[in-house]
Amino acid sequence: MFQYIKDQWANGRAIYGKKSWRETRRVILHFLRTVGHKQEMMEYKAFFESYAPDQHILDKQEGLYELMSRIFLFKESTLRERIDAVKNHFTALEDVFTPETIEMLYNPDELKPEGLKQGILLWEDTDLNMTAHLNFMTGQRKEGLFTILLQLGDQGVYHANIRLGKGLEGEPALWIGTIQGYKDGLDNAKHITKKMFGYRPKNFIVFLIRELAKYCKVQSMYAVSDEGFYANTHMVRGHKAKVAELDPLWEDIGGTVTQDSRFFKIPLEEYRKPIEEIKSQKRNQYRKRYELLDGYQEQIRGNLKAYLH
């Protein structure tokens, strides 16, 4: 038991450091929240120690321990729900990606091979000077267990924090924790909508998520609603929690609120309006957009091929 207590303190130090009182306070809170859950913590650790693609993920990404002491992923998530979410995600990864790919994605950047420092290149368009990568970004673990980052040059435009796992009916599913934009990148990317024939970057990152979902063997896709955003668990001193305000996007892409109002169910396929139903003056724009997206689909399939089972 003494060793277990020492381990929980050490985990907190590894996550938060010890340079300031604020960091030490976070260490203490992590310790107090985990020390009484030995069975769950040992289960969590044992899962990773026996994880075939890489038994050292927790050693290299200590921040994953924070999911055991913080109410992350969605509003009012329980410890049991978060443990299951993490285990289900990493279990699902084994059915999708090669062991080498999983190890690479969850290695710290300094351990990644040259050319893969940003993870897997999902998509690029040199004419637009834009790329999209799939990677684990430790700072985004509050909302997901890997991230799609859409960039214009070296500036972020949008990122989506996502995870694999089980849906509300126990089916294989992909979960979107949030989609967030970067102010500078968004300001500089306003011309992208025109270049993509009226297709907004926010919709394009949803397109990328859906394309990834095709290869992740999922049967459904969900998104966390504004009400379900993890920060809404606690309202401090009457202040409204910061939320992404994504409900309008989920509705725009065909999503519907589930019986649990914390989540939307999102169609796996994007609805494409038939050309004959589009106003004649816009038909050429839509035709070019669809052709562009069809080409991107083929590129993404080719980019992922080397990393999939």
- pLDDT classification of 237: cutoffs 50, 70, 90: very low
Residue 77 lies in a domain: no
Residue 291 lies in a domain: yes
Flag whether pLDDT at 2 surpasses 80.
no
Distance of CA 243 to the CA centre of its chain: 16
20-44 average pLDDT score: 87
Flag whether pLDDT at 291 surpasses 80.
yes
Residue 262 lies in a domain: yes
Residue 216 lies in a domain: yes
User: Amino acid identity of 54?
Assistant: D
Let me know if 291 is exposed, middle or buried by CB neighbors in 10 A (0-12, 13-18, 19+).
exposed
Residue 277 lies in a domain: yes
- pLDDT classification of 189: cutoffs 50, 70, 90: confident
> How many domains does the structure of the chain reveal?
1
Write down the pTM of the prediction: 0.93
- pLDDT classification of 12: cutoffs 50, 70, 90: confident
Residue 284 lies in a domain: yes
Let me know if 130 is exposed, middle or buried by CB neighbors in 10 A (0-12, 13-18, 19+).
buried
Residue 266's pLDDT is 99
Evaluate whether 40 touches 80 at the Cβ level (below 8 Å): yes
- pLDDT classification of 244: cutoffs 50, 70, 90: low
Residue 54 lies in a domain: no
* 265-290: b (≥16 Cβ within 10 Å) or e: bbebeeeeeeeeeeeeeeeeebeebe
Sign of the torsion formed by the C-alpha atoms of 109, 183, 150 and 224: positive
CA angle, 71 then 149 then 251, to 5°: 70
Which CATH number characterizes residue 119's domain? 3.40.630
Spatial distance between the Cα atoms of 151 and 108, rounded to a whole number of angstroms: 20
**Domain range for 190:** 110-305
- pLDDT classification of 23: cutoffs 50, 70, 90: confident
The label of the residue with tokens 């200590």 reads 62
Residue 243's pLDDT is 56
- pLDDT classification of 191: cutoffs 50, 70, 90: confident
Residue 26 lies in a domain: no
